[in-house]
């Protein structure tokens, strides 16, 4: 099988980058802006809410190592897909939960996965995650890349990202790379 691309948004891209770069079969995790109505938006423009962009990640993955279904299972459990335009204290449309599918197979898997999540009772409320066709993705400024790995002692990383990394380690240890540690 060929390497495939995925684009997800689950709140602050520092969090989602830190999580997905630890998953076996996932490579080239890039934080950035998905579904922007403006070409090459800046962080400041995205934060203003005027671009329509979501903070997200785009990455490559090897379906022979990890399936899209498994990636979405992890995605559902490492952020709160039931809060509209919010993750923790981060609020605004740029922090929305979204799956931007690259083909019809990803679309069908995402739709079925969301239904299964809602039926599972994992959350008390239904998922509000947007499932939309991929339109565009712009890489974030360099200072956003590898943010957690470079700044793990910063308060945001310690209080917000590290608990998510610990949850990932606890619940998905067999799906994680061994060479990257929290």
What's the CA gap between 88 and 35, in Å, rounded? 22
Write down the catalytic residue from 12, 15, 47, 157.
12
Residues 6+ apart with CB under 8 A from 150: none
Residue 12 annotated in active site: yes
Q: Which residues does the annotation mark as catalytic?
A: 12
């Amino acid at each position: 099988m060929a390497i495939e691309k995925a684009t997800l948004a689950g709140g602050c891209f520092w969090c989602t980058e830190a999580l997905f770069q630890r998953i076996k079969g996932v490579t080239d995790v890039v934080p950035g802006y998905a579904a922007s109505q403006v070409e090459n938006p800046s962080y400041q423009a995205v934060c203003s809410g005027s671009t329509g962009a979501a903070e997200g990640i785009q990455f490559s993955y090897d379906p022979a190592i990890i399936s899209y279904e498994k990636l979405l299972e992890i995605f559902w459990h490492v952020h709160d897909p039931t809060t509209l335009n919010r993750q923790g204290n981060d609020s605004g449309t740029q922090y929305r939960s979204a799956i931007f599918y690259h083909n019809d197979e990803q679309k069908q898997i995402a739709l079925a996965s969301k239904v299964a999540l809602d039926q599972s009772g994992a959350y008390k409320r239904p998922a509000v995650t947007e499932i939309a066709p991929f339109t565009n993705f712009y890489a974030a400024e360099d200072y956003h890349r590898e943010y957690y790995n470079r700044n793990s002692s910063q308060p945001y990383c310690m209080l917000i990202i590290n608990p998510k990394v610990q949850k990932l380690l606890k619940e998905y240890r067999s799906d994680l790379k061994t060479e990257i540690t929290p």
